[in-house]
Amino acid sequence: MDPELPVVRLCVEGMRAEAAGQTGRALGLFQQAWETAADDYEACIAAHYLARHQNSPEETLRWNQECLERADRVGDARVDGFYPSLYVNLGQACRRLGRTALARTYFARAAERVGEAPEGQYGDWNRFAIAEGLRETASGPAGEVFEGEDEADGDIAWRHLDAAVDGRVRELVARWCARADLMVLALTLPAYLGYLGTEGDQVRLRSALHMVHAARRLPDDEQSELGAVIGAAALE
């Protein structure tokens, strides 16, 4: 985003107010950004921040829908990186309203476009939120539809980490957390928490676990267990 755009400057100032606990001032700045927006691109940016400061889940969903509609109207590369978080926000809003099937659809759409998010912490955050959303909506009722939206997608091309492997990794992570092994956690958590079941995700997780195993800094029992996890068929 161009930091010189008036809308962007207002939103940055609003974020600073938000961080300082000045919620009312932040909302006023985001509202001003919305009123200042000169086109759909700028309105998309402002709507994203307004959605964060609504008092009801219905209004939060409405502003997130507005944000998505404006991004769709822009329709060029400027908004490509927005879509993973736009769909995540819509999924979270629908989940709060109990519309589980539609929420899962949005999380699945986010998963399809997660590669468009910038790499680094922002991209990792999107992966974490998508994986959590898909887990939370995995067993929701089918056929839920929100007014104005299509029905939830059928088969979603996403799968959980094998349950047995997941349990073993969770146990290892719990032990690393208990003793605050920050180096090991820093290597493994992004790949584990952002696991979306693609071939690339498998490679990412396996590589992270291999790096920890190769460092040989774990207690013997954990070193042995980690080796067994890496050799599991689910990660081959």
* Predicted structure pTM score: 0.80
- Lowest-confidence region among 54-68, 88-102, 141-155: 141-155
162 falls in which pLDDT band (50, 70, 90)?
confident
With a cut of 50, say whether residue 223 has pLDDT above it: yes
How far are the Cα atoms of 23, 29, 71 from residue 108, in angstroms, in the given order? 32, 32, 18
Note the pLDDT of residue 138. 80
**Checking phi first, is residue 144 left (phi over 0); if not, alpha (psi -120 to 50) or beta?**
beta
Residue with the larger pLDDT of the pair 169 and 146: 169
**pLDDT of 216 strictly over 50:** yes
Q: What is the mean pLDDT of the chain?
A: 88
For residue 176, what pLDDT is reported? 96
Summarize pLDDT for 112-151 with one digit per residue, the tens.
Answer: 998 888 888 888 899 999 999 998 888 654 444 444 444 4
Percent of the chain scoring above 90 in pLDDT: 69
pLDDT computed for residue 159 by the predictor: 67
